Amino acid sequence: METQAKQYVENFMAQIVAKNPNEPEFHQAVREVAESLAPYIVADPALQKLKVLERIAEPERVIIFRVPWLNDRGEIEINRGFRVQMNSALGPYKGGIRFHASVNLSIMKFLAFEQTFKNSLTTLPMGGGKGGSDFNPKGRSDNEVMKFCQSFITELYRHIGQDTDVPAGDIGVGGREVGFMFGQYKRLRDEFTGTFTGKGLGWGGSLLRPEATGYGLCYFAQEMLATRGETFEGKTVLVSGSGNVAQHAAEKATQLGAKVVTLSDSSGYIYDPEGIDAEKLAYVKLLKNVYRGRIKEYVDKYPSAQYFAGERPWGIKCDIALPCATQNELNGEEAKVLVANGCWCVAEGANMPSTPEAIEVFLANKLLYAPGKASNAGGVATSGLEMSQNSMRIKWSAEEVDAKLHSIMQNIHGVCLKYGTEEDGYVNYVKGANIGGFMKVAEAMMAQGCV
């Protein structure tokens, strides 16, 4: 069976690579899932005959479009917009929008593919999608960001809707950008609906949506730690990134008694051995979200910290690592350093931050290791809760949303245990999340026929 499964993966991946050339991130995400599923697929003639995985790896629709807009100097700028509508077996396409210079079709497809399994794990009725643009918001005025968002939506609006496709934020897209996109969408459609999530709290947004990915990550990590009789209390934690997910992961880990000692951005990282407590984090939020500054400015304010330009935080000794910046930000060599320094738990806030080589190191050393599609699902889960509140025209309290988020993360953890526990008792969360996420999508696709 094992050789048959390996052969299945190689044949399947050869087709994926041939059909989707120059898309390394997409190949990486698909291979990981195919490796987890292969033993099931080779044992199940129905899955093979109905080509379920083959269909899941082919987006239902990809929209690529020109985004022309006028900058503050009156010049025309042209960006490329994307929306990958990956899978609608479980509900309307759902997933964030990313604005970053690196955005391309491969990155959009890998994110939409991951989103399909993640959304399935939440148990909420959401299909998988992702969108974005190679627009770089850094250094742009509010006016330029608004102009760009309006042009982006002037094309995208015809492809989305509360029952069709519901975008949200991701890298480079937060409350400000969702506001501008929603405003233009509402203007073009002449409808006030829940077509976007991550909206402002005064106009349809859900309480706790901004916090949800980072908080959910820590709730998931709490469950992982509990399998070894442990908690966050007194643990040293590395966080990478300093955006939405990183800030709220650091906040919740600190509330749970841990000491968070790093944050980063694409220019470098800061190490504060005394810990980034609530007061320091309030400064980080102001610095990043209001002044849109760089993390190196932290050391001007708090001289107890050091800044390391051009480096990533994985060389610092820790118990727990929470990568919360971007894909492939933690490689095999860095994974070995983490393990050598005594790190025993890695939970991903970002999407696919660990390279395949890093994952191999974590699994070989039997770390508690959770892939993003399980551990960062709290963000999209709370987006699902925002959709429910919008449809019902009601607003839940922060306590209600937090309780639902908590129980969704506990449930995802339970699914990972169910499908990922190996013979020796080790929990392979990669396997657990991939199989658990796939099952529901596959059953729905088989029931819905050849579509």
Q: What are phi and psi of 75, to 5 degrees?
A: -90, 150
Closer residue to ligand 2IT in complex, CB, 9/124: 124
Question: Least separation, in Å, of the C-beta of 89 and ligand NDP?
Answer: 21
Distance separating alpha carbons of residues 223 and 188, to the nearest angstrom = 44
Give the interface segment with ligand 2IT, choosing from 38-46, 90-98, 409-417, 434-442 (CB under 6 A): 90-98
Contact with ligand 2IT (CB under 6 A): which of 59, 91, 92, 96? 96
Partner that binds at residue 94, options ligand NDP, ligand 2IT, none, CB closer than 5 to 8 Å by kind:
ligand 2IT
Give the interface segment with ligand NDP, choosing from 52-60, 70-78, 238-246, 400-408 (CB under 6 A): 238-246
Q: Which of residues 359-378 bind ligand NDP (CB under 6 A)?
A: 376
Q: Centre a 10 Å sphere on the Cβ of residue 77 and count the other Cβ atoms it contains.
A: 16
Partner that binds at residue 32, options ligand NDP, ligand 2IT, none, CB closer than 5 to 8 Å by kind:
none
Distance separating alpha carbons of residues 314 and 376, to the nearest angstrom = 20
C-alpha R_g of the chain: 21
170 binds ligand NDP (CB under 6 A): yes
Partner that binds at residue 172, options ligand 2IT, ligand NDP, none, CB closer than 5 to 8 Å by kind:
ligand NDP
Closer residue to ligand NDP in complex, CB, 227/328: 328
Output the residue with the shortest Cβ distance to ligand NDP: 243
Closer residue to ligand NDP in complex, CB, 130/147: 130
Partner that binds at residue 95, options ligand NDP, ligand 2IT, none, CB closer than 5 to 8 Å by kind:
ligand 2IT
Give the interface segment with ligand NDP, choosing from 153-161, 224-232, 244-252, 385-393 (CB under 6 A): 244-252
Contact with ligand 2IT (CB under 6 A): which of 88, 116, 154, 197? 197
β-pair type (61-70, 93-99): unpaired
Give the interface segment with ligand NDP, choosing from 26-34, 155-163, 235-243, 440-448 (CB under 6 A): 235-243
Partner that binds at residue 197, options ligand NDP, ligand 2IT, none, CB closer than 5 to 8 Å by kind:
ligand 2IT
- 130 classed as catalytic: yes
119 binds ligand NDP (CB under 6 A): no
Output the CA angle 61-66-67, nearest 5 degrees: 115
Distance separating alpha carbons of residues 217 and 345, to the nearest angstrom = 12
Closer residue to ligand NDP in complex, CB, 97/345: 97
With tokens 């809707």, the residue in question is: 161
User: How many chain residues interact with ligand 2IT (CB under 6 A)?
Assistant: 12
Give me the 378-397 binding string for ligand NDP, x by CB under 6 A, dash otherwise. -x------------------
Give me the catalytic one of 94, 109, 118, 130.
130
Q: Which of residues 359-388 bind ligand 2IT (CB under 6 A)?
A: 379-380, 383
- Number of residues written out for the chain: 451
Distance separating alpha carbons of residues 145 and 69, to the nearest angstrom = 10
Contact with ligand NDP (CB under 6 A): which of 52, 245, 347, 445? 245
Give the residue numbers marked as catalytic.
130
**Chain residues that interact with ligand 2IT, rule: CB under 6 A:** 94-96, 115, 118, 168, 170, 197, 351, 379-380, 383
